[in-house]
Structure 1
């Protein structure tokens, strides 16, 4: 075997061909470039189809429009899933030969209320549960007509203008594809709510408010409400104060002066206008501003003045979230030997779910205080005054009904589910009046729904679970049933009376 000479042996460190250096350089450049591109690529703002993160006031929040497939909060998963399932059924059946046509209603709310909001996560969930109950009832039972079927879309308007605008842009873009003809819910009576309703009106989308009560909203076209407005709540409160128990009590008004809150802005002024001047304990209200700090300190400093005026009734024209700051000092007042009844508006229904409710209960236990409010709805009203309610209207909330079987662990006491139900029911009633013929496949025009808004009165009044809804031309219900609700020291609620703004006899509206 021949041996290799040195020059014939393979080079242990052979030179690397130039082409390999060039190729490696190109790869390195591509990798670096790709890495830079990856680093510079903005983080996705998509949360789901039709839902994205929108920054406002230094924070981000997922807002937009969904068919229920995206729950805006963990608390809304179950109700969102129920809505998604019903929506899928409606869409699937419509696609079949000679399938039943459908339209969509958007339920608009601030789905994730934060600290300082008048709504709570629990009240939002209850309202959507009521909305779903109405959707299921009108799609599965013929008591409210048959067609079109209803898809329910959920829209989170957030709490800032940029977030509202994004959700409204989704509604505008999907009006045709999703057959959107109405919106319901609409949140609470804040200045942003007015802006939302105005933009919906420009899109020819009728709006059906569930719990909004501010009187200023009567000036907004395209809006109807199933809740009694502030003026009616105030008048009902005055009607109640004519009762023997309170007929001689002097009344002190405690008024929130927050300019951004349409609800509190008019509640006190309307009550003051309705109450005979001789019953006022002071010529001017005790005025505070919920947009500023130190509320409890303010009220503590005012207790001596309150005792000086010796009121038997305090009319609290403020939000339920501010009640703890008022009631805690009131329970420690110098004149505690004299019982005081605090009477307020419907927003007190939120107090039981808000931070500080333990302070409210403690004040009621120890402060010789009675707490009442004019509610929008309460299940106790059905037994306290059954003559003012249609028996069939409350079936979904009775044992064995859709609500009680689907959401058996949830309560009706805050009235939110009942009002959400009535808002959707009223929207569906209006939509189906715009259908020329039963089972018609003719497209429903949005302006036809708007046209029908003023037909919902007298013989066409809607039998709501919260009472009969006979709408005036200004979109507010006539003499709506208003329960007077007491919150006990253990937190339980009960209806003590059912009245209305009817200045004649206080009786709520019922069809002749």
Structure 2
């Protein structure tokens, strides 16, 4: 075998090394792939995160709260998951039944409120859940019994307003967006008595949607066309409290404690109403005024205890939110004149105290401070036995043993009244809807405007017998002389009705 001659240095026969792989076609392809991957990563990092939570529900605001409108297929919080599932199942049943030949038509009722306890919220997680449980019970009763007729069937939609204007506006926009598809004709619940609630109501009623408030009581919400309130007004609550005090302690000297916060319609009208209802000569000359929107509220109350002892009242009427009661009662229990018994009376928002974080302070104050705590409740089951003639047996049946509420929610309590009020608001909406359907409109063509028209019929012989008492509307859209339980929160945290009062002191019977 011959050998090739060896190359010598400087030979013209030069040698080229192999071309690097990254300079060929393979390298170009790899570079392109790398750039695409890098670009995709940059895009993934730079693009805004999805705001979608579910159909009709989106993250809104800097806190990314999921707000909007759902048929129950989405739960706004883990606490509401089981309840949302029940509502979704009933809604699916209604739609499936309507799709069959000869199936009953249906309409949508939106339950609107802030469904998750937020910063500064006056509702508790329990009270929110209870109110929605009451609404579901009314939906179930409407669809499965003949008490209010049987058509149209009711779909219950849940609308969470959140805690900001942007969140509320998004939710209201979703109601408008899905109004036709979900046959929405009415909105119930509506939240508490605030300026934000008033704005929502006005937007809804301007669009010819009937509005049915469950727990709104402010006198500033009286007379809005298209709005029905199933709860007594603040002036009625104050008058009922005054009648009770004048009957049980005719000469009681009363110190008024009032919250001057400008955006809370509940507290401002409660104080004004009590001042008008109680004899001026029995009121301490100078009320104790505080602003719950400012800091150092507890310190303010502590500093005022010397004046409480100086004024020596028999009763304190606390015209503030329940959330502020612990901050008032704690220093009150340490007043120097605690040897003298003192009764504190408040409005319906005090019903939230039993489930609040401050209930321990309240129980301690009642036990140590020689204090008795009463409030005018919107509803309480004790009233049913204390004054049975004012409550319809059929209306309270869902809350009795064997009734739908007890069957669906066997471990839930009724003491805060929220479930009863949520039930009555939805029941009243159903009554107006079915009045519209039977009045010639037809069950399959009921509109929001038809329901608005029917709300003005709900008085006298057409009044609604609610679980909270007779709902016979006056010209301002609220119940006349509604039964109002006087409720005591005891030292051990138990709640019971001690009397049933009303604006004129004598609540009406269950039937007109």
The equivalent residue for 2:383 is: 381
CA contact (8 A) 2:380 2:468 kept: yes
The equivalent residue for 1:192 is: 196
The equivalent residue for 2:81 is: 77
Residue 227 of structure 1: which of 224, 228, 231 is its match? 231
Q: 1:14 to 1:415 in 2, by over 3 A?
A: closer
**RMSD, aligned α-carbons:** 2.1
The equivalent residue for 1:263 is: 266
Tell me if 1:50 matches 2:56. yes
Alpha-carbon distance between aligned partners in 2 of 1:318 and 1:136, rounded to the nearest angstrom: 35
What's the secondary structure of 1:328's corresponding residue? helix
Alpha-carbon distance between aligned partners in 1 of 2:254 and 2:270, rounded to the nearest angstrom: 15
The equivalent residue for 2:339 is: 337
Residue 412 of structure 1: which of 396, 411, 414 is its match? 414
Alpha-carbon distance between aligned partners in 2 of 1:452 and 1:178, rounded to the nearest angstrom: 21
What's the secondary structure of 1:463's corresponding residue? strand
Note the alpha carbon deviations across 1:77-122, whole angstroms, 9 max, x for none.
1111110110010011011111100000000110111242110111
CA contact (8 A) 2:465 2:511 kept: no
What's the secondary structure of 2:437's corresponding residue? coil
What's the secondary structure of 2:222's corresponding residue? helix
Tell me if 1:252 matches 2:270. no
Alpha-carbon distance between aligned partners in 1 of 2:4 and 2:451, rounded to the nearest angstrom: 99
Alpha-carbon distance between aligned partners in 2 of 1:317 and 1:15, rounded to the nearest angstrom: 83
Tell me if 1:429 matches 2:431. yes
The equivalent residue for 1:279 is: 282
Alpha-carbon distance between aligned partners in 2 of 1:152 and 1:4, rounded to the nearest angstrom: 95
Alpha-carbon distance between aligned partners in 1 of 2:228 and 2:143, rounded to the nearest angstrom: 22
Note the alpha carbon deviations across 1:372-398, whole angstroms, 9 max, x for none.
000000000000000101111100000
What's the secondary structure of 2:58's corresponding residue? strand
TM-score (norm 2): 0.95
CA contact (8 A) 1:236 1:506 kept: no
The equivalent residue for 1:507 is: 507
What's the secondary structure of 1:383's corresponding residue? helix
CA contact (8 A) 1:320 1:351 kept: yes
Alpha-carbon distance between aligned partners in 2 of 1:23 and 1:235, rounded to the nearest angstrom: 84
How far did 1:358 drift? 0.3
How far did 1:310 drift? 1.2
How far did 1:278 drift? 1.6
The equivalent residue for 1:158 is: 162
Tell me if 1:305 matches 2:288. no
The equivalent residue for 1:30 is: 36
CA contact (8 A) 2:118 2:163 kept: no
Q: Hey, which bits of structure 1, 4+ residues long, moved more than 6 A?
A: 1-7, 11-17
The equivalent residue for 1:321 is: 323
How far did 1:14 drift? 7.8
How far did 1:306 drift? 0.9
TM-score (norm 1): 0.95
Q: 1:195 to 1:230 in 2, by over 3 A?
A: same
Alpha-carbon distance between aligned partners in 1 of 2:323 and 2:26, rounded to the nearest angstrom: 72
How far did 1:16 drift? 6.7
What's the secondary structure of 2:380's corresponding residue? coil
Residue 241 of structure 2: which of 234, 237, 242 is its match? 237
Alpha-carbon distance between aligned partners in 2 of 1:38 and 1:59, rounded to the nearest angstrom: 22
The equivalent residue for 1:368 is: 370
Structure of greater Rg: 2
CA contact (8 A) 2:256 2:318 kept: yes
Gaps of 5+ in 2: 8-16
Tell me if 1:167 matches 2:171. yes
How far did 1:511 drift? 3.5
* Greater alpha carbon shift after TM alignment, 79-88 vs 436-445: 436-445
Residue 463 of structure 1: which of 465, 474, 480 is its match? 465
The equivalent residue for 1:202 is: 206
Residue 486 of structure 2: which of 484, 487, 497 is its match? 484
Note the alpha carbon deviations across 1:134-187, whole angstroms, 9 max, x for none.
000010000111100000000000111000000001000010000000000011
CA contact (8 A) 2:434 2:443 kept: no
Alpha-carbon distance between aligned partners in 2 of 1:351 and 1:6, rounded to the nearest angstrom: 103
How far did 1:300 drift? 1.1
CA contact (8 A) 2:260 2:292 kept: yes
CA contact (8 A) 2:143 2:154 kept: yes
